[in-house]
Each structure stands twice: as structure tokens, then as C-alpha cells.
């Protein structure tokens, strides 16, 4: 298995599922319905092409086989500002192919930083990952998960609280220097 994929899957298991940041992640991971695609792109057009192909794969593959895809981007978009700007092109691609309402893209990055936060604020850790990632989600699956959760609005606050409760040693073990 590719070392980038190993790293992303380890992050899924230890951070996303292990800390219960996403209460909906464990089932598709356990059922083998999560594809991790390691991008070979070094230019934005190449990455947009890979994104289009992965969305088409989701379109063509039954949910029972493939629930979601994570595109890991190890060779570009290391700067968070560049990554954040690229997300506008991701949105444009979804609109162009009329996938808005069918799919959404969640964003994760090693230097993720929410607006109005400092780089080392604990809440940024909720969206930090070992590589820049584009997580392709089926919109109807997201809606079903939201409908089934007793307090979906409380998830972000609970995640921030969980991150703030981590010791420095725990943070370093999970995120390294991020």
C-alpha cells in the first residue's frame, strides 16, 4: 500500500474515528467503502481532472461498494492559502458538471485554519490531516446522517472541546508539529 494512503488511513482511524470527530465515519471505514486516492497531480488542472474522475467513479459505483472517496494531494497545495483558493475551483467543477446537490467536498489540510483563529488554536485541529485532502461525500448520505444524529449542531462544539482537552503530548502524537 502507498505510504500516503497508509498515513491517511491511520489518520482516519486514530483522529477522525478514534476521537469521534465524525460520528458517521466508522461504519463506511469498517465496511471497506472508503476509497483513498493518492493524487499524482503537480498542477491544478491535473488535480481537477482527477477530482472529476473520482466524482464520476462515485456516480457509477453503487453505494454498497463505495460510499466516499478521499483524494490525498501530497505533491501540491502545501500552502493553506493556495489550498483554500483552490477550493473555489472545486466548487466551480461541481457546478459545471451539475453535481451540486449530489456531492459535496469536505476540506482537510495539515495547516488548516478557520477564519478568525490563530494558527495554534485547538479548534483548527478538527480539520487537520497529514496531507491536503478533498473528501468527496454523497449529499444524500450526509443528509441521512444528519437526520439520524440526535445533536448534529453540537458536533463542532464537542470536537473543539475534545481538541482543547488533549495534552500537548497527545496533540504531538496525533498531529506532530501541526
64-99 pLDDT tens trace: 999 999 999 999 999 999 999 999 999 999 999 999
CA distances for 164 relative to 120, 125, 133, 144, angstroms? 11, 9, 23, 29
Position 177 scores a pLDDT of 63
The DSSP bridge partners found for residue 68 are 34
Tens of pLDDT, residue by residue over 124-155, are 999 999 999 999 999 999 888 888 888 888 89
Query: Rounded to an integer, what distance in angstroms lies between the CA atom of residue 64 and that of residue 25?
Result: 15
CA 6 to CA 44: how far, in whole Å?
24
Supply φ then ψ for residue 34, to 5 degrees.
-110, 120
Amino acid at each position: 500500500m502507498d505510504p500516503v494512503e497508509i498515513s491517511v488511513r491511520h489518520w482516519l482511524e486514530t483522529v477522525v474515528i478514534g476521537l469521534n470527530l465524525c460520528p458517521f465515519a466508522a461504519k463506511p471505514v469498517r465496511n471497506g467503502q472508503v476509497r483513498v486516492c493518492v493524487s499524482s497531480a503537480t498542477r491544478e488542472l491535473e488535480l481537477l481532472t482527477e477530482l472529476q474522475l473520482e466524482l464520476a467513479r462515485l456516480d457509477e459505483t453503487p453505494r454498497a461498494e463505495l460510499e466516499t472517496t478521499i483524494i490525498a494531494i501530497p505533491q501540491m497545495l502545501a500552502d493553506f492559502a493556495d489550498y483554500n483558493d483552490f477550493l473555489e475551483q472545486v466548487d466551480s467543477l461541481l457546478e459545471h458538471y451539475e453535481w451540486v446537490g449530489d456531492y459535496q467536498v469536505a476540506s482537510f489540510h495539515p495547516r488548516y485554519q478557520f477564519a478568525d483563529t490563530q494558527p495554534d488554536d485547538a479548534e483548527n485541529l478538527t480539520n487537520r490531516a497529514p496531507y491536503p485532502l478533498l473528501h468527496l461525500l454523497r449529499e444524500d448520505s450526509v443528509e441521512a446522517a444528519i437526520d439520524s444524529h440526535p445533536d448534529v449542531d453540537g458536533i463542532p462544539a464537542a470536537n473543539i472541546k475534545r481538541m482543547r482537552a488533549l495534552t500537548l503530548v497527545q496533540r504531538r502524537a496525533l498531529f506532530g508539529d501541526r
